[in-house]
Structure 1
Amino acid sequence: MADNHPAAHPLEIGLDAVQSLEAFARACARLRVDRSYADLRRAARPRPLPAATLSDLLNAKSTPTRDTVITFLLACGLDGEAQRPWLTAWERVATAHQPRPASAVRVREARPRLLGVHAAIQIPGAAGELPPYVPRDLDADLRTALTAAAAQGGFVLLIGGSSVGKTRAVYEAVHATLPEWWLLHPDPGATPAIAAHAEAPTPRMVLWLDELQRYLNHPTGLPAGTLRRLITAGTVVVATLWPDEYNIRISRPRAGEPDPYANDRDLLGLAWSIEVPEMFSRAERRRGETLAGTDQRIRVALDTADAGFTQFLAAGPALIRRWTGGNCYDKAVMTAALDARRVGACQPVTSDFLEAAAPAYLTPAQQATAPPDWLDRALSYATTLVHGAAACLAPVPAGMGLIAGYVPADYLHQHALGTRRTTVLPDLVWTTLTTHHHPDDRLALAQNAERRGQPAHAIALYQRAADVSGSWFVNARLADALAGQGRVEEALQGLREHAATGDGNAAIRLADMLAKHGRINELHDRAGSGDGYAASWLADVLAKQGSVDKALQMLRDRAATGDGNAAIRLADVLARHGRIDELHDRAGSGDGYAAIRLADVLAKQGSVDKALQVLRDRAVAGDGDAAHWLADMLAGQGRIDEAIQILRDRAATGDGYAAVLLTDMLAGQGRIDEAIQILRDRAATGGTYAAFRLADVPVDVLAEQGRIDELRDRAAAGDGYAARRLADMLAGQGRIDEAIQILRDRAATGDGYAAVLLTDMLARQGRIDELRDEVAAGTFYAVESLRRLDQAG
């Protein structure tokens, strides 16, 4: 403790009622008791507490910083968990003036069940919707990630199967670390609203995207650029995702194959990913044992050997038993719903669909002897709650007393994905899906039908989607599917009709398909009527057929009209066929792309100096792309200083990309100070990407170079990882007290990983009394460390 003054108890001060700066100042004055400013300054650690700062705090002259509040609390004898209610009150006051976003709630007011936390089994004597939370091994990493994201914006993603505790873990972590932040939980189709928030973000916002696949699979999708803008603006994005969904989205397609997940791969690349195991570890089970006496549901789940703890609490195994144990009609209805979702029907399936599709899973005899009310009985069976927690099929309302459709339980769906992955969907089910599906699922169903070797059904679904949306992507997929079935003329006719409306994407696709199928005359006609795309593809065809001069003349004519695409194609064809003189002429007349292609050809021929001169001439003329290529070629020749100078000159003109290339090159040479300074200068002039890169300068690089002051600055700005690496460095230098204080300060902010390191360091140093203080302050991790020490002693 900082001194012997008796501190007022937080409950006596009534921090929950503090809603204004004046009320917070009065609470601080009560906590101060009779301490003088001099007393507080002497007790302040680790930062000074000037009289002017104290006066502002205690007289409500301005909102104090978080660091000031922590220093004041330490001076008054409060540390660890004792600070949490004070910091919560401070954050409530600090954010009181901020506007409330539409449909957002404070994190502390959010209801876990509405955020996607599964209902728990109901057992006689168990009270409440949910049992107490059993702390997980991943909590420290999760809270560290959230704390870092809160400091500068970030995306935290939990990856794990259904009912393994992802959503409960992230809810508890967000509730503990960001209780006064706003929480926005948009519908999967609310991409425009999310984009609007990205354009005018609200400070201290948590964007909750549970079951991220629902947002990514929606026809409107979730652009990676939107998420990047939110993160840059300081938003904390939290999401959960199943492993299969994650793996398929991060995998790159083979060469020549379409890349439907390019956006999702970029988006997931922004995430701090944490995996959630299927089963409890031994340490987690021990924590569960300490809570088993408080809730019978925990006791029963721990005693169940044939299922995971969290899966059992969500009634997962019971759902499987109910699916497999029903009569043939019950099972047929549920299997039809599960198979529909397996191939892309994420929206509720209707009773009409289930009635039409279920016979595909029944024998002729079972169909013939079905009772008149077989469907009603099957739906009643499938929608019955198991242990009061979940049903195999959940009805979705369409109004009072009306059912829009049914959605399979997530756990049952994930189980069916594994057991039925290679099972071919009956043709009757595909036919029924074509006529009975939600419009939002149409594209996903069509793509799944195409991947699963059902071209006729894919074409029917693409056709329906094209009739409604007119999307260039849908039109392109429809054309490809038709062409793949030999229906080339139908494919071309559809593209012609869309190209005639001015759809540039359809015109590109049409030219490509005409070239692939040898429709040279039509390419000629379209090129003659001014279609630049057709001219470019025609030139490619002619060049491949040996009519290089004819192809080049066509591209020259198009390039002369200002067609940039034709100019690029012209330079490519000239380079491919060794027309160096013409490339020289075009480069000399200001064609930047011709200069780049010329330099590439010269370098491959061994004339590196000539190549460099070509690029240098263009760079001097102000061509930024040529300057970037020049720097790269110089660096490849080992002429690093020249490359750096070229990029430095370009960066000085405001070329942001040159600045980024320059910082990468400097960092690669170990010149970290220069790289950081360039990023700082760019960020100070409004360069948002530079600011993003500045925050991303690897902490490990700073630590490896022993840059203690830089790490200290990063730690003071709220970077938990920097603080932990700093503590590790200091401990390695024998500065144990400093290291412990840094970890203690971080743990006080809710950094669970710092708390783990702190208790471990105290234990290794044999500082038993301080460990006991941590236990008394409620630091969970200290309990285990103290127990191990007691056992060892």
Structure 2
Amino acid sequence: MSAERLIGLVRAIGAEAKRQGVEPLRDERHLFDFDHWRRRHRDAAAERIGGQGSGAAQQPVSSDGGPGIVSSLDLPRPLASWQPERLGVHAAILDPLRTDATGFVLPAYIVRRHDHELRDLLMAAASGDDPVLLVLSGYSCTGKTRTAYEAVAACLADWMLAYPKDADSLHRLLAADALGPRTVLWLNEAQELLGGHGGEAAAAALRRRLEQPGPLVVIATLWPGHRHELTDRPTGGQDRHPQARALLAAARGITVPAVFDGPALGRLHETDDGSLNVAARTAPDGSVTQTLAGGPSLVQWYEQADGTQDCYGKAVVTAAMDARRLGHTSPLPLALLEVAAPGYLTDAQRAAAPAEWFETALAFARTRVKDVVAALGDVAHDHGMGAQPGVCRLADYLDQYARAARRECFPPASFWHAVEHHAATAADLYELARSAESRGRLRLAAALLRRAADEGHGPAWEPIVTMMAYRGLTEEAESLARSALRRGEPEPMLALAWTLSECGDADETERLVREAATTGQASALTSLAVVLSQGPEAEAALAEAVTLGDPEAPYLLAKLRQNTCDLAEYEELLWRGASAGDRNAKGELVALKCSADEWDEAEVLARSFAERGDGFELGMMAIDRNKAGDRAEAERLAWTAVELADRDVLGTARRPFPVGTFAAVAALMSVYSDDEDGAESVLQRLTEFRNPQTWAVAARCQEERHPDRAERLYRRAAERGDLYALERLAMMERNRKAAGAERTHRAAVDAGCGVGPLADLWGYEDRAEEAEQAQCYGLEIDGSIAAPWLF
């Protein structure tokens, strides 16, 4: 007897008892509970085929229901008892800025158009009396299983769920009539149940179950290719899947898109979820779910590639990682990777390399992990079809991973030889040179800059001239600057002028700036006005610079005319500068609103700046409110600035100094200056944010009173890539003469803090000659102090 026939009999007995006025005794009432009989029927059915009612029974059963193959009986359990990872939902990439994110990560879910379609069908099934079969179709890692899980959890939360792991288990469930009403039958990767041994018998049994009345939802996921294999009628030969084809023909199909569309991407960027933020930034083509699911496997694949042959592929990928993180934004030339790779291998690995090592390495690097993403991919032609020859691109997520994992790694000499001769463009050379410079390799930087300049990249002349001037080569620097000036490029001459200005040579500074201003370029005109400070010539220069679009000129002109122009003109100039990104103009606009007691308008302005990554004005407003005695408002504004910085945590990581967070925390410390417990509470709360810059600021506030706590916070922030924290950590170790101080200082240099901290350490240790030489000539590629060199 089926479960429904049993329930019908109980219902009839109950109705007859009620008609005759017979009330059941208290200890007999369970006999009229339908769920009680469903459970009894399920357990009895399981016992008949060897089950124990726990979902773990085993019994020899063949694909036709008779004895034979040993298989598990996966009985239904309440949906709430199922964890998403047990149902086949992929683990996602970690939030890189969360210290407590370990193990299985399930990021926030972004509902898309197909989700609404699926949930409407499930709600209809929940209120109906007939079974339904739903098939979610999509390629690998497009989010089919997560879509199904979220929909079932939202619409059928109080139902049971059965998840058979193979065709025999599915057949046994159906043979036992164990799928009662209000049950979800979960067929993740349904091709594994329907396409192999026992699949046809299971499909036939499921067709029979779907013909019975009662609310039942069967939800299956399938790749499109597998669905075609099961549903396409063969043109010749044996028909292997007639039952599966008939079953799937009656299903309601839902396609899960491979990429996020515009509206979904917009919602993705609005979320605070760190994993989604990373996916959004590393999946510019909208392949968000592939990045979420495939990212961890790609990293694991890369990190474990140390085998006899895999090591060459790993070396090539590592070279690509370094090239991307240090500034090579163009498609990566294969020649660059081939020349760079040997430096990432041991002597033994190089000696054992086969003749075709690079071809083998490329084949390895192009292997698609999870059939979704490869470390190195092709680059499409800018126009037309096909891939560009001789170049590749690094997977965006692997690029994101490398920027943290290899932050303190300085590439080997083979890498720099490769980029010098094989970088795609002069602009790439320039960016790589600046990365070398910020890592203290000044001789290397100068060589790369000169090569970029010679290849036509004008901006490279400016740092060359500056480096010459700092080393006393003023005449040579001016000669190069004048050559650039003849080409209409004033920046090298201006760079030389400001370098001499730092040395106190005002006359030479004005002479050089006036010469640069003859080009009529906006930056040179603004510089001339700064040198002149005031007067008609300065005003005329600024007016022309504003017309030409210089971002700093509107603020400077507004301040110059402050006493002669009306408020409307003054504010218009400030708006113009703020819109161009000038921080001084932003600050003056907010201050203008505050001085007029227009606090709401001031906050709207400051908040808009903070939402674009600059929370300084909001923090300064908090400081002003506290000075005015409004502690509650000061605290609210300060926390708002910190929270907005936390939303753009990956963006703020690119800004080296957290001025906005510093201003906000300074306001909070002022609010609680007379409340030690309150200040401690503030600092503790700051450590709970995701932004490493926030932790670094909290650490800075505790250096004097709680140095051990500050050091732990700095270390935590430095491990997440914060350069300010790494520099402060090095300074703390220097001050207490820690044994590992030089190692930390070198890590700071290699991460991009410049050679200054290391030179300061040597000066602190009475190694003045080494400090001076390092400061002037920098380090060699291997980290040793460079000998004096010429341009």
TM norm. shorter chain > 0.5: no
Under TM normalisation by the shorter chain, which class is it?
0.3 to 0.5
TM value normalised by structure 2? 0.33
TM value normalised by structure 1? 0.33
